[in-house]
Amino acid sequence: MSGKIADVELLADSRLIVWNPAEAQTLYSSRYYGKPLGVAKPKEGFDTPLVLDPIEGVYLLERGVIDVVQGEDAAKVTPERLKALARGILEGFDDHYTVYSSLRDKGFVVTPGIKYGCDFAVYEHGPGIDHAPYIVQVKGKGDGLSATEIVKAGRLATTVRKTFMIALVDGEEISFLSFKWWRP
């Protein structure tokens, strides 16, 4: 993606909104960024604003795809300022952002994984085109991982037919561990 696609407003509650429906549609269609407001599973075009996750917002702002403004004077928000806000509302933001940006840069479509009880759902092509083959849980360098967490994650991944992956972050370096059930 090159060039600015959309203007985004940062609301007082830290939500990022693309108010212009045409810009919202273009941004969503480019690689499935954001969620159309009030549209559960958009198949075709939509005519609503788009809500961006803070991680998506930082990623797109750093790449010059969006401009973010805030307040009545529409003051531009810098990537550093948006990252600082995101750190205040998302625990482990830096590790999550490292994984998100790495996967996006490799061409994957990355969406929040809350419905799977993990950090990210990762698609090869995008929601509505294919099913997410991977679900990812982010762990920082000092985070522990219990046997119970592994079993729980493996059972969930098997139930929804996905490969469960743990992204271990150490600075800018990421190691991925994948888990699959094996039946002899």
Q: Which residues are catalytic?
A: 123, 131, 162
Q: Residue 36: beta bridge partners?
A: 50
Q: What is the largest CA-CA distance in the chain?
A: 65
Cβ-contact 55, 96 below 8 angstroms: yes
- 152: CB partners within 8 A, 6+ apart: none
Comparing CA positions, the residue from 11, 22, 84, 24 lying closest to residue 50 is 24
How wide is the angle at C-alpha 15 spanned by C-alphas 143 and 120, nearest 5°?
40
Q: Where are the alpha helices (DSSP H) in the chain?
A: 21-31, 54-62, 79-89, 93-105, 147-159
User: CB burial class (10 A; 0-12, 13-18, 19+) of residue 121?
Assistant: buried
